[in-house]
Amino acid sequence: MSLKNDLEVLRDQGLTQIKATESMKDLNDIRVKLLGKKGPITNVLRGMKDLSPEERPKVGAFANEIRDTLTTAIETRKNSLEAEALNKQLAAETIDVTLPGRQVHVGTSHILTQTMDDIEELFIGMGYQVVDGPEVEEDHYNFEMMNIPKNHPARDMQDTFYITNELLMRTHTSPVQARTLEKHDFSQGPLKMISPGRVFRRDTDDATHSHQFHQIEGLVVDKHITMADLKGTLEVLAKHVFGAERTIRLRPSYFPFTEPSVEVDVSCFACGGKGCAVCKYTGWIEVLGAGMVHPNVIKNAGIDPDVYGGFAFGLGPDRFAMLKYGIDDIREFYLNDIRFLHQFNTEG
């Protein structure tokens, strides 16, 4: 049984060597030495021909067992050496994850654009069209079609930059409504539109006045549009812009192009209506004007006011943005300080 002893010694020595190996190269050498074609186990197996037929299978099986044991040990050691090597490499590759990332420069859209986009998308979703119109407008569309004849006291409400007696910088985006109403074919369905854009007033620029600002006006005309519809629409708008908890209230007012005319207040988003500095302790903030389209405006567009009617509203994106973001000087919008503009680079 010396052969078996030899094998056992071989196994024990082999296992010790394998265990002690620290490099892949050494491990490979050991593998070749122990298990290679010239290795001791192969030798044992080769020497089997000298054994008796009874011993042959026993020794053979034992030799195979030893070979498998060593092979497994080498494999295990190899895995563990590889893992060690990888861990070493990973350790060496460690970086400071707190270093700043590579800069990606993305521009910001102007806060007024964001404010208008937000409102435009709301109304697009409700089936309105967005209509642009000229910024240089005729007196006819800016005033007369809107039921503000020459020398009407209401012209005082909108100090105007004139270019000629008949041509002016539009003071509101209502003339876009007049132009659209005039062209609209009601056999194709109702008119639902908003008209956003730049408007101009003959004002001296200060914290609360700007000779250039923006407006979004809305108009819905069909055979049966009610003031309740106006109230509902404005409530959707107020909740969309100022938060789902907001409520609105209407107060009587006067615009030559609507009758009845109302001012619309929204419950204060800063205090929820309890009263604070933002709402001047009233719980309400005036945000827009609205009303039922004046029959003269309908008539001026060549439409029968006994059959068709509707509502209109007008709001100031500048004012909306000032309220929403606590901006206290309207000139900020047009001075374009990059630090001011970049604050609004988040959604929300």
Partner 1 sequence: MKISYKWLQDYIPLSEDPDVLADKVSRTGIEVASVIRPETGLKKIVVGHINAMAPHPDSDHLNICQVDVGEAEDYQIVCGAPNVAPGQNVIVALPNSRIAGNTKIKKSKMRGVQSMGMICSLQEIGFSENVVPKEFANGIYVFQEPVTVGAPVFKYLGMDDIILDFDITPNRADTLGMHGAAWEVGAMYAEKPKFETNDLVETGQSIANELSVDVTNKNLVPAYYLRRIHNVKLQPSPMWLQTRLWNAGIRPINNVVDITNYVMITYGQPLHAFDANKLTSDHIVVRQAQKKETLETLDEVTRQLSTDDIVITDDSQTPIALAGIMGGKQSEIDGNTTDVILESAVFDGAAIRKTAQRQNLRTDASTRFEKGVDTSAIIEALNAAAALLVKYAAATVDQGYLTGQAIKPQAVTIPIKLDRINHILGTSLTLDQVIEIFHNLGFGTAVTDGELIKVTVPPRRWDIHIEADLVEEIARMYGYDRLPVSLPKVAMTPGEFNPQQKFIRHAKRQLQSAGLSEVISYALTTEVKATQFKMTQLDQLTKLNWPMTEDHAYLRLNLVSGLLNDIAYNVARKQTDLAIYEQGRVFPKPEQQVRPNEVEYLAGAITGLTQSPNWLEPKQAADFYTLKGIVTNYLATLALKDAVVYRATDRYSEMHPGRTADIYIGDQFVGFIGQVHPLIAKQYDIHETYVFQLDLTKLLEMPNQRIVSQPAPKYPAVSRDIALVVPENTTNAQIDAVIRRRGGQYLQRIKLFDVYQGKNIATGYKSMAYSLQFQNPEDTLTEGVINEQMTHILDYLKSELNAEIR
Taking residue 340's Cβ as centre, other Cβ atoms within 10 Å add up to 15
**Partner residues linked to 262 by β-bridges:** 252, 290
Q: Minimum distance from CB of 323 to partner 1 (Å)? A: 18
Does residue 97 belong to the site contacting partner 1 (CB under 8 A)?
Answer: no
Does residue 187 belong to the site contacting partner 1 (CB under 8 A)?
Answer: no
Span of 46-54, 68-76, 171-179, 253-261 interacting with partner 1 by CB under 8 A: 253-261
Does residue 118 belong to the site contacting partner 1 (CB under 8 A)?
Answer: no
Q: Minimum distance from CB of 90 to partner 1 (Å)? A: 22
Q: Minimum distance from CB of 207 to partner 1 (Å)? A: 16
Distances (CA, A) of 136 to 86, 160, 211, 310, 334: 72, 12, 14, 26, 20
10 or 237: whose CB is closer to partner 1? 237
Among 36, 47, 57, 232, binds partner 1 (CB under 8 A): 232
Among 6, 26, 108, 270, binds partner 1 (CB under 8 A): 108
DSSP string, 207-275: SS--SEEEEEEEEEEESS--HHHHHHHHHHHHHHHH-TT--EEEEEEEETTEEEEEEEEEE-TTTTTS-
Among 2, 38, 54, 252, binds partner 1 (CB under 8 A): 252
Does residue 128 belong to the site contacting partner 1 (CB under 8 A)?
Answer: yes
Of 1-30, binders to partner 1 (CB under 8 A) are: none
Among 198, 208, 274, 281, binds partner 1 (CB under 8 A): 198
Residue in this structure with the two tokens 């697009």, named with its chain if needed: 124
Q: One-letter amino acid identity for 167?
A: L
Structure tokens at 234: 């404005």
Report the candidate in 257, 221, 308 with the shortest Cα–Cα distance to residue 141.
257
Among 156, 185, 328, 347, binds partner 1 (CB under 8 A): 156
Does residue 254 belong to the site contacting partner 1 (CB under 8 A)?
Answer: yes
Longest dimension (CA), the chain: 133
Of 302-341, binders to partner 1 (CB under 8 A) are: 309, 333-339, 341
Could you tell me which residues come within 8 angstroms of residue 120 by beta carbon, excluding any fewer than 6 positions away? 130, 194, 196, 216
